[in-house]
Amino acid sequence: MTVQARQIVLARRPQGAPRIDDFALGTAALAAPAAGEVLVRNLWLSLDPYVRLALSEQPGLHGTVPLGDPLPGMAVGEVIASASAELPAGSFVLSRVHGWRDHYLAPAAELQPLSTAAGPIERYLGLYGLTGITAWGGIYGVLKPQPGETLFVNAAAGAVGMVAVQLAKRAGARVIASAGSDAKCSWVTGTLGADHAINYRREDLATCLAELAPEGLAAAFDNVGGEQLEVMIDAMAPRGRIALCGAIALYDGENYRAGPCNLFAAVEKHVSLTGFNAGFYFPQAPQIIADLAAAEAEGALVHEETIIEGLEAMPQSFIDLLSGASRGKLLIRV
Ligand code: NDP
């Protein structure tokens, strides 16, 4: 059996924000699985900002996609042909690399088997996957908010941010959030339950934080980096804690690893900055997923997914994700 896979490939290395011509639709002929391999038909593909880093030539854990190669990403799919006793045809699997395509061949040992018992399978790309585990790790693993503390979350209407806001509220914190439009801010307060939301494109973040938290922030969850991280460091209370989750404001630039210019303010105020990587929490995934499911069952957790149809829509959806046009977790149904 030969399958003609369709895949989104890197046509041109983006300069600044990615443009539609940076991507192209390619094909690859896939043979029948060899011993230990499976052939998978992807059902759902995840859109994640870290993929932008793999399109650049900057050094980092993400690697660099060669021109003409398919993009890497998370996906859930169904095994349609198998030469592995562990993953027979009909199994559902998660891949952390074989996104951005409709079919792929891979060794069964590299894939994570999934059960459909916990609800819709695409949840393993969102709430029960990278973004939910990231929010859980940043809030409960790093920041550990105490009741009554004031905690700030930026990019709060995004996939990680929306879960982080709600977990912080569940822990009893007072939550100040920021997002890039008035509509997103209304949703972050009205639906997610944040106490205040700042539209950082229209309002001055530093001024708003000074007004809303005159004693300073006890904790902050940073998805954005760059100038927002600098504002955050200045806005922290003595002994404040910052969880460094991402730096999306820098991903289109020439050095996404650039540091804030006011780091010494952290020394003066005894502020901790803790970087964290969701991968370090994957061994705890079953307990984390159970806790997220419990939060949902309590009515303390809303998870919004924006579903886009078809592999061809993926490049534009990725551009929309990075530019802030979307809300919640963005998924492609293949
Ligand atoms: P989101 O769904 O939050 O999408 C990204 C959002 O970031 C956009 O919608 C936009 O919303 C906002 N944004 C984009 N550019 C800027 C900018 N220049 N300044 C301020 N906000 C901006 O993505 P995710 O939830 O998937 O990821 C959020 C962050 O978490 C990213 O930095 C990502 O890399 C990181 N991450 C880290 C992980 C880890 O293990 N540490 C794992 C997964 C994600 P808006 O309209 O509000 O501007």
pLDDT tens for each residue of 216-254: 999 999 999 999 999 999 999 999 999 999 999 999 999
Q: Which two tokens stand for residue 113?
A: 């088997």
CA–CA separation, 117 and 146 (whole Å): 33
Residue 213, pLDDT score: 98
Task: Please say if the pLDDT value at position 2 is more than 90.
Answer: no
- Ligand 1: centre distance to CA 248 (Å): 5
Q: Which atom of ligand 1 is nearest to the CA of 246?
A: 32
Task: Please say if the pLDDT value at position 165 is more than 90.
Answer: yes
- Ligand 1: centre distance to CA 131 (Å): 10
pLDDT confidence tier of residue 309, bands split at 50, 70 and 90? very high
pLDDT confidence tier of residue 289, bands split at 50, 70 and 90? very high
Query: Regarding the domain delimited by 130-279, which CATH topology (the fold level of the hierarchy) does it fall under?
Result: Rossmann fold (3.40.50)
Pocket test for ligand 1, best of 186, 223, 288, 321 (most atoms within 8 A of CB): 223
For residue 294, give every residue at least 6 positions away whose Cβ sits within 8 Å of its Cβ, in sequence order, or none: none
Residue of the nearest CA to atom 39 in ligand 1? 277
Residue 172, pLDDT score: 98
Task: Please say if the pLDDT value at position 61 is more than 90.
Answer: no
Average pLDDT score over residue span 77-88? 97
For residue 184, give every residue at least 6 positions away whose Cβ sits within 8 Å of its Cβ, in sequence order, or none: 156, 157, 197, 199, 327
Residue 117, pLDDT score: 83
Round the average pLDDT of the chain to a whole number and report it: 97
- What pTM was computed for the model? 0.97
Residue of the nearest CA to atom 3 in ligand 1? 158
User: In the chain, what are the domain boundaries?
Assistant: 3-121+304-333, 130-279
Pocket test for ligand 1, best of 139, 160, 162, 189 (most atoms within 8 A of CB): 160
- Ligand 1: centre distance to CA 42 (Å): 25
- Ligand 1: centre distance to CA 109 (Å): 31
Residue 3, pLDDT score: 95
Task: Please say if the pLDDT value at position 118 is more than 80.
Answer: no
Task: Please say if the pLDDT value at position 134 is more than 80.
Answer: yes
- Ligand 1: centre distance to CA 52 (Å): 11
CB under 8 A, 24+ apart: contacts of 120-125? 121/43, 121/44, 121/76, 121/92, 122/43, 122/44, 122/76, 122/305, 122/331, 122/333, 123/303, 124/76, 124/94, 125/44, 125/45, 125/46, 125/74, 125/75, 125/76, 125/94, 125/329, 125/331
Task: Please say if the pLDDT value at position 1 is more than 80.
Answer: no
Angle (CA) 166-140-224 rounded to 5° is: 65
pLDDT tens for each residue of 89-116: 999 999 999 999 999 999 999 999 999 8
Residue 60, pLDDT score: 87
pLDDT tens for each residue of 186-214: 999 999 999 999 999 999 999 999 999 99
Q: Fold identical between 3-121+304-333 and 130-279?
A: no
Q: Which atom of ligand 1 is nearest to the CA of 279?
A: 40
Number of H helices, E strands in the chain: 9, 15
Average pLDDT score over residue span 170-191? 98
Q: Which atom of ligand 1 is nearest to the CA of 160?
A: 25
Pocket of ligand 1 (CB under 6 A): 48-50, 130-131, 134, 155, 157-161, 179-181, 184, 223-224, 245-249, 276-278, 321-322, 324, 326
Q: For the chain, what percent of residues have pLDDT higher than 90?
A: 96
Average pLDDT score over residue span 285-291? 96
Query: Regarding the domain delimited by 3-121+304-333, which CATH topology (the fold level of the hierarchy) does it fall under?
Result: Quinone Oxidoreductase; Chain A, domain 1 (3.90.180)
Average pLDDT score over residue span 149-170? 98
User: Smallest Cα–Cα separation from 42: which of 92, 86, 88, 87?
Assistant: 92
Residue of the nearest CA to atom 11 in ligand 1? 324
Residue of the nearest CA to atom 36 in ligand 1? 246
Question: To which H or E segment does residue 6 belong?
Answer: strand 3-10
- Ligand 1: centre distance to CA 133 (Å): 15
Residue 119, pLDDT score: 82
Residue 24, pLDDT score: 98
For residue 54, give every residue at least 6 positions away whose Cβ sits within 8 Å of its Cβ, in sequence order, or none: 62, 63, 64, 65, 71, 72
Residue 153, pLDDT score: 99
- Ligand 1: centre distance to CA 24 (Å): 24
